[in-house]
Amino acid sequence: MTQFDLKEHYNRLWVDSINKIGSGGIKPDYRIADPEDDRYGLTLIIRPSLEIRKAVNQVFQQIRIKTPDQYYYPVSDLHLTLLTIVSCQSGFDPEQIKMNEYVSTLKPVLENAEPFQIEFKEITASPEAIMVCGYPEEDSLNSLRNKIRKAFKSSDPFHTIDKRYTIQTAHMTAMRFIKPVDHLSKLVKQLNSIKHIPFGSDMIQECHLVTNDWYQRADTRRTVETFRF
Architecture of the domain spanning 3-27+37-228: Alpha-Beta Complex (3.90)
Residues 6+ apart with CB under 8 A from 74: 57, 218
Residue 98 pLDDT greater than 80, yes or no: yes
pLDDT at 3: 54
Mean pLDDT of 5-30: 95
**Residues 50-95 pLDDT 10s:** 999 999 999 999 999 999 999 999 999 999 999 999 999 999 999 9
Residues 6+ apart with CB under 8 A from 140: 114, 116, 117
Mean pLDDT of 187-194: 97
- Scanning 67-139, the segments in alpha helix (DSSP H) are 99-110
Q: Is the dihedral of CA 90, 96, 99, 101 positive or negative?
A: negative
Q: Quote the percentage of the chain above a pLDDT of 70.
A: 98
Residues 6+ apart with CB under 8 A from 187: 21, 63, 66, 67, 181
The residue ranges of every structural domain in the chain are 3-27+37-228
Tell me which H or E stretch contains 72. strand 71-72
φ, ψ of residue 217 to 5 degrees: the values are -75, 135
Mean pLDDT of 167-176: 96
